[in-house]
Amino acid sequence: MNNSHDAIDNSFVGNSEYVYECIDCYDMYKAYFCQQSTSCRNSYFLSNCTNCENCIGCHNLNGKSYYIFNAPVTQQEYEVVCNSLRNYSAREEFREKYLQFLKEQIFQSNNIV
């Protein structure tokens, strides 16, 4: 934790605010359950994303807004899913779908910065 505020249960997080259960993330704001992401805002369940806003359950995106499972959605669709994630059981169900989604994705062998 480096220069981060209101951050809980994180590992290797820097310059971030309002982050929860993030791993290896930097310059994040209101990000939850993210991994290896940078400069993302208002997002849940991201993996290897950069400069994303209002994204849920995405992997390998760069500079996108309003995406769910790497597919574009409207602001209203995003808000419906985002509001449902406030419920613990719905969030755990979504986490399972996200983990299945990640099994079908391509991952880099190395993450060299």
Domain limits of the chain? 5-103
The predicted-structure confidence for 27-48, as pLDDT tens digits, reads as follows 999 999 999 999 999 999 999 9
Instruction: At 64, list the tokens.
Output: 């996108």
Largest CA distance in the chain: 36
The helix (run of H) or strand (run of E) holding residue 54 is strand 53-59
What's this model's pTM, rounded to 2 decimal places?
A: 0.91
Instruction: At 111, list the tokens.
Output: 């993450």
End-to-end CA separation in angstroms for the chain: 18
The predicted-structure confidence for 66-75, as pLDDT tens digits, reads as follows 999 999 999 9
